[in-house]
Structures are given as C-alpha cells and as structure tokens.
Amino acid sequence: MNQDMRRDFASRGELIAYLREQFPEAAQGDEQVPAQRGGRRAAEAALQAVRPHAYGKTRNFLDGAVTRLSAYLRHGVLSLAEVRDHALRQVRQREEAAKLVNELAWRDYWQRVYAEIGDGIWRDREPIKTGHTRYADALPQDIQQGETGLACIDAFSRELRETGYLHNHARMWLAAYIVHWRRVRWQAGARWFLQHLLDGDPASNNLSWQWVASTFSHKPYFFNRENLEKYTAGIYCRGCPLAGHCDFEGRYEEIEARLFPNRPAEPASPPRRR
Amino acid sequence: MEKALIWVHGDCLSPHNPALLAQPSAPALWVWDEALLASYGVTLKRIVFIYECLLELPVHIRRGEVATELLHFAEEHGATHILTTGSPSPRFAEICARLEQRYPVEVLPGPPFLSGGGRYDLKRFARYWARAQHHAFGDSG
Ligand SMILES: Cc1cc2nc3c(=O)[nH]c(=O)nc-3n(C[C@H](O)[C@H](O)[C@H](O)COP(=O)(O)OP(=O)(O)OC[C@H]3O[C@@H](n4cnc5c(N)ncnc54)[C@H](O)[C@@H]3O)c2cc1C
C-alpha cells in the first residue's frame, strides 16, 4: 500500500526514465532534462566556483560571473549564511563581496515578506502604477512557444523551458515584455516561470514579478534595446529580423510615453536596477 | 520511549538540515505533494532536480497527500512526535496543523542569514536593508 518510491538507479538516464513514467503529466512539456544536477555534492562544487569580486563587477551581463546557486538556495541544499560565509572567506576586503551579500539579502527579504503575507503574494501588494487597468488573464501562445519574432524574447522563452534557468536580467526583460508590452497580468507570467524554473520559488518569483509590474515598487520596470544590447553583447539584436525597428527601440522617455500614456509624468531617469 | 519521525520538505534538502542533524537515526520521509504538482503544472526537470537532492539524503520517498502519508508513516514506525525544519509557506503551516491533531510537531528554525533578530520594516527592500546591512556580514559584521 504505502510503497516507497525507488532510490536505486544505475544512471541519471535511468532515474529520468523512471520519473517520466511516474509523473507523465509533468513529463509532457519536457522532452529533455537540463544538465544541472540536484544534490549537496553538486551544490558544493558550484559554491567552490563562486567569484565574489568578479560577481560584483559583472553580474548584470548575461555572460557575467553569476553564481547559478539559486536552485540550491531555493531548496535549502545551501543556506544563505553558508554562501555568504564562503564568499567572505574568498575576499581580502569585505567590500569585494558586498554586492553578492546584498543580492543574497534580496532572497532573505522576499522570504520575510512571504512569512508575513502568505498567499497574499498572489495578489497585488499595491495599486498598479502604469495608468492601465485592463490586463489579459492568459499568457499568449507565441510567448510560451518562443514565436514572437523577437530574437531576444524567443531565446529567453526557449532557455526557460529547456534549461529551467534564466539570468536575472533576462527574467526582468521577459517579465517587463509580458506585463508592459503585451499587457498580460503578472500572475500569468509568474505561473509560467514557476512551472519551469529549477529555482522556482513563490516568494522570490511572484514578488519580483510584482516589482516589475509596479504593484510592489514605485514605478514599472521597463527597458530599451540599447540596454538589452549592452548587457547581452548584442548577440540577439545582431541576428534579429526586427533589428532597428523592434518594440524596444527608442529612448527611455519615448518608450515610457508609448507604454504608459496615462501615467502621470515624472522626471525622466532610467529605472533603478536591482 | 520517545521516537521521532523527520519530515523533509522542499525548503530543507541539505544533509545538514537541522531536523536531520538533531535525530540522525530517526526515520525520515519526503512526500511528493500530488495536488501541488498538479496545481502548479510543475515540469519534469524540477522533479528530477529535487529527486537528485533526495537521493543524497537518508529519506524514504512517497507520493500522495502529504499529511495523510506522514501520519501513516508515523504509525508504521511507532513514532511519538514529528520533527521538521521551518518554512514560510502557508501550505507548510496547514500541513503542520493537521499533523498536530495526532502528534506533537517540533519545527526547528533553518540557519539564519542575519545575525540580528527582531522585526524589520518590510515595506521596501531599501528600508529592510538600511538595518539588515549591519547584520548581513556574519559575525564579523
Ligand atoms: C521576474 C523574476 C522572477 C524571479 N523568480 C525567481 C525564482 O523563482 N526563484 C529565485 O530564486 N529567484 C528568482 N528571481 C531572482 C533572480 O533572478 C534569481 O535569484 C537569480 O537570477 C538566480 O541566478 P543566480 O543564482 O545565478 O543568481 P546570482 O546573481 O548569482 O545571485 C546569488 C543568489 O542570490 C539570490 N538572489 C539574487 N538576486 C536575487 C533577487 N533579485 N531576488 C531574490 N534572490 C536573489 C539568489 O538566491 C541567487 O542564487 C526572479 C527575478 C525576476 C526578475
């Protein structure tokens, strides 16, 4: 009756085949399973590779020295304190690890908010500040399939589904595109992310979506092509059929006026980054 | 005689999780929450990742309705109480409440990130950080 599930597998392939059979619904969307491994051993190896100083200088770039520890932190395989202590041991001066410690704190912060509001993470924390009131309930198919025609967005969609990981900046761009350019409720995007992210965490995820949407921040987060091009070394724009006339062209003020025509004007400055 | 059962859930998949450390020889259980997997539409890759974490822990792995499975398991092993590690998730609190109708449940806190306890202003990250930065750099901070 109460049968234990198997623990003896000769190989990763055998484990995956077993789980495919045990969880057929979950297996439907995933033809392949990404290479990133679960478990403490893999987590420790990833921890050894952390370079706090380089992280601080390059983390906003898609090819920057980000840690990719999120799935381990999410599931408590590593603790925030452990990563912080390790990072501090790697540097001569505390300041060299300051950026990483600050980012780790974002996770601690979202977890504290979650402890306070529980399922409230699924509801707007504050009124939305975009000047719009109507948002679509469902995530459009072209985004889910990676068929919008925008090389960057389609690549992020594919990477999310195939690897279960996206760089923080890519998450921000993709979320902003969904909420502000396509005017879809943030909850629809949040749900999609949680299906796929190996680090999928209701608090970090939903509250970050709310930060992008402006229901948990002072103003909506958006970007322009120049910003995306800079932090991606142009790899998407270069081969994009829409290059030069895509939805993201223009100065911040122009895009802001296009996206949020009903929003009370504010002194122009690029949105603050996390 | 006191006999603990350890509940391992998705926020504490380290072999150093406080509940496993407190009772290294007690039987431990993980339950795949079938309703949760279905409602979130969780994909296979996430299940594989978690399963690989479980294979490095001394746990039995089952599936179904979490509280029900834990209660069966506790009965099978003649447990007198249940030990686990804390989580902010409301579902965790609901499951604990159901378990508590039959067994005492002890929730051990996970390792803290900030050295200074107490309440933080959570209105915005900046407010939290204004105070937290003095406690975020470990003992040296
Ligand atoms: C729309 C959106 C959805 C997100 N969903 C999730 C999610 O489901 N789970 C999740 O863990 N993070 C989420 N994040 C936060 C962040 O993008 C990821 O934690 C980070 O990209 C993971 O990659 P990394 O481990 O290489 O991060 P690094 O930059 O190397 O950071 C180290 C660790 O710090 C923590 N961290 C860093 N930045 C953040 C942040 N902004 N918020 C919370 N924690 C942070 C993570 O635990 C991360 O592993 C989301 C961000 C956005 C904008």
Question: What pLDDT is attached to residue B138?
Answer: 80
Could you read off the pLDDT tens digit of each residue along chain A, which spans 274 residues? 568 999 999 999 999 999 999 999 999 978 889 999 999 999 999 999 999 999 999 999 999 999 999 999 999 999 999 999 999 999 999 999 999 999 999 999 999 999 999 999 999 999 999 999 999 999 999 999 999 999 999 999 999 999 999 999 999 999 999 999 999 999 999 999 999 999 999 999 999 999 999 999 999 999 999 999 999 999 999 999 999 899 999 999 999 999 999 987 665 556 665 5
Nearest to A254 by CA among A225, A233, A228, A217: A225
Strands B60-64 vs B81-85: parallel, antiparallel or unpaired: unpaired
Chain A, nearest residue to B32 by Cα:
A5
pLDDT exceeds 70 at position B11: yes
pLDDT exceeds 50 at position B141: no
pLDDT digits (tens, 9 = 90+) for B90-102: 999 999 999 999 9
Instruction: Please compute the mean of the pLDDT values over residues B65-80 and round it to a whole number.
Output: 98
Counted across chains A and B, CB pairs separated by less than 8 A come out at: 178
Quote the domain boundaries for residue B135: 112-141
| Ligand 1 pocket at CB < 6 A | A 59, 66-70, 73-74, 103-104, 106-107, 110, 167-168, 171-172, 175, 193, 197, 199-201, 204-205, 208-209, 212, 274
**Which residue in this structure is represented by tokens 């107490």?**
B118
Q: What CA–CA distance (Å, rounded) separates B98 from B80?
A: 15
Q: Both B129 and B95 in a single domain?
A: no
Q: Which of residues 103-122 of A touch B (CB under 8 A)?
A: 104-106, 108-109, 111-116, 118-119
* Lookup: tokens for A161: 């589904």
Nearest to B45 by CA among A15, A78, A70: A15
CB atoms within 10 A of CB B100: 12
Nearest CA to ligand 1 atom 16: A168
Query: Do B29 and B7 meet the contact criterion of CB atoms below 8 Å apart?
Result: yes
Q: Both B128 and B86 in a single domain?
A: no
pLDDT exceeds 90 at position B140: no
Q: Both B58 and B74 in a single domain?
A: yes
Question: What pLDDT is attached to residue B100?
Answer: 98
Q: Both B120 and B75 in a single domain?
A: no
Q: Both B105 and B116 in a single domain?
A: no
A13 touches chain B (CB under 8 A): no
Question: What pLDDT is attached to residue A274?
Answer: 57
Q: Both B101 and B116 in a single domain?
A: no
Question: What pLDDT is attached to residue A263?
Answer: 87
Question: What pLDDT is attached to residue A264?
Answer: 73
* Lookup: tokens for A6: 């198997």
The DSSP-derived string for A109-164 is HHHHHHHHHGGGGGS-SS---SS----BSS--HHHHHT-SS-HHHHHHHHHHHHHS
Provide the number of structural domains found in chain B: 2
A145 touches chain B (CB under 8 A): no
Question: What pLDDT is attached to residue A30?
Answer: 84
DSSP state of A20: H
Q: What CA–CA distance (Å, rounded) separates A174 from A171?
A: 5
Question: What pLDDT is attached to residue A272?
Answer: 60
ipTM of the complex: 0.97
Q: What CA–CA distance (Å, rounded) separates B109 from A72?
A: 18
Q: What CA–CA distance (Å, rounded) separates B92 from A2?
A: 22
**Which residue in this structure is represented by tokens 């029900």?**
B68
Question: What pLDDT is attached to residue A266?
Answer: 62
Q: Both B38 and B89 in a single domain?
A: yes
Q: Which residues in chain B are contacts of A109 at CB distance < 8 A? A: 122, 125, 128-129, 132
Question: What pLDDT is attached to residue A2?
Answer: 64
The DSSP-derived string for A176-232 is HIIIIIS-B-HHHHHHHHHHH-TT--HHHHHHHHHHHHTSSSSS-----HHHHHHHT
Nearest CA to ligand 1 atom 4: A205
Q: Both B139 and B104 in a single domain?
A: no
Q: Both B136 and B116 in a single domain?
A: yes
Query: Do A170 and A159 meet the contact criterion of CB atoms below 8 Å apart?
Result: yes
CB atoms within 10 A of CB B112: 13
Q: CATH no. for residue B85?
A: 3.40.50.620
pLDDT exceeds 50 at position B4: yes
* Lookup: tokens for A65: 């020295």
Question: What pLDDT is attached to residue A268?
Answer: 53
Query: Do A262 and A131 meet the contact criterion of CB atoms below 8 Å apart?
Result: yes
Q: Both B83 and B98 in a single domain?
A: yes
Q: Both B22 and B74 in a single domain?
A: yes
Nearest to A243 by CA among A146, A148, A150, A147: A150
